[in-house]
C-alpha cells in the first residue's frame, strides 16, 4: 500500500487498435451516407444529356438526313447571317459606342436568323413530302418534343393517365437576391 498517486496509466494496445478500427468504419459509413443523393444512390459521374443522336429506333439516320439537307439548302442564308453577326461585332466594338447602331445590328441579326430558319423549314417541308409515313412519324415524335426531352417521352408512355399537355410548363426557377 503505497501513498504515491498513480500518475500515468497505460492503455492496452488492443483498446487503441479497436478504437481506431471503429473510427475508420464510422468514417466510411458516414462517407457513403453523405455521398448518397435524395434517392439513396451515390451521385457518381453526371449522366450525359440524352439527345436524338442516342436513339436506336432508326430515327437517328432519318433526322440526320433531314437536318443535313436542310442545312445545305440554307447556305446563302447562313452566309448572310454570318455577315450580320460580323456587323454586330463591329458595332459593339466601335469607338465611340453607338447604341442605335448596335440595336440596328441586333435587328439585322434577328432578321437573318429568321431567314435561315425559314429556309431550313422550307427544305424540311419539301423533304417530308418525299418520306414514307413511318419515317415521317419518327420525325413527328422528335419535332413534338425536341432533342433530349426525356420528360416528354416518359409522359407519353402507354397506360399513363392524363394528357401530357394538361401539365403545362414547369415553374420558373427561384431567383436569389
Nearest-10 Cα torsion for 88, 94, 100, 101: -40
Q: How does residue 37 score in pLDDT terms, banded at 50, 70 and 90?
A: low
| Domain residue ranges in the chain | 74-145
pLDDT of 160 over the 60 cut: no
Spatial distance between the Cα atoms of 85 and 125, rounded to a whole number of angstroms: 27
Mean pLDDT of all residues in 126-135:
86
Residue 49's pLDDT is 47
**DSSP 8-state secondary structure symbol assigned to residue 148:** T
The alpha helices in the chain, defined as continuous H runs, are: 13-35, 59-73, 75-93, 99-130, 133-145, 150-155
Helix pair 75-93, 59-73: axis angle to 10 deg: 70
Please report where in the chains the cell 436542310 appears, as a residue: 70
pLDDT of 123 over the 90 cut: no
Q: Whole-prediction pTM value?
A: 0.48
Helix pair 75-93, 99-130: axis angle to 10 deg: 160
Among left, alpha and beta (phi > 0; psi -120 to 50; other), residue 44 is: left
Amino acid at each position: 500500500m503505497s501513498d504515491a498517486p498513480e500518475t500515468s496509466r497505460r492503455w492496452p494496445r488492443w483498446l487503441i487498435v479497436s478504437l481506431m478500427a471503429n473510427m475508420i468504419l464510422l468514417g466510411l459509413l458516414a462517407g457513403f451516407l453523405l455521398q448518397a443523393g435524395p434517392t439513396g444512390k451515390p451521385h457518381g459521374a453526371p449522366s450525359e444529356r440524352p439527345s436524338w443522336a442516342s436513339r436506336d429506333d432508326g430515327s437517328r439516320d432519318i433526322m440526320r438526313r433531314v437536318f443535313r439537307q436542310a442545312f445545305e439548302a440554307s447556305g446563302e442564308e447562313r452566309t448572310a447571317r454570318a455577315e450580320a453577326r460580323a456587323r454586330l461585332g463591329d458595332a459593339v466594338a466601335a469607338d465611340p459606342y453607338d447604341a442605335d447602331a448596335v440595336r440596328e445590328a441586333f435587328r439585322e441579326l434577328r432578321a437573318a436568323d429568321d431567314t435561315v430558319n425559314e429556309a431550313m423549314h422550307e427544305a424540311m417541308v419539301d423533304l417530308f413530302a418525299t418520306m414514307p409515313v413511318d419515317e415521317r412519324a419518327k420525325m413527328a415524335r422528335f419535332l413534338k418534343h425536341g432533342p433530349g426531352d426525356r420528360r416528354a417521352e416518359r409522359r407519353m408512355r402507354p397506360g399513363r393517365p392524363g394528357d401530357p399537355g394538361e401539365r403545362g410548363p414547369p415553374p420558373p426557377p427561384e431567383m436569389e437576391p
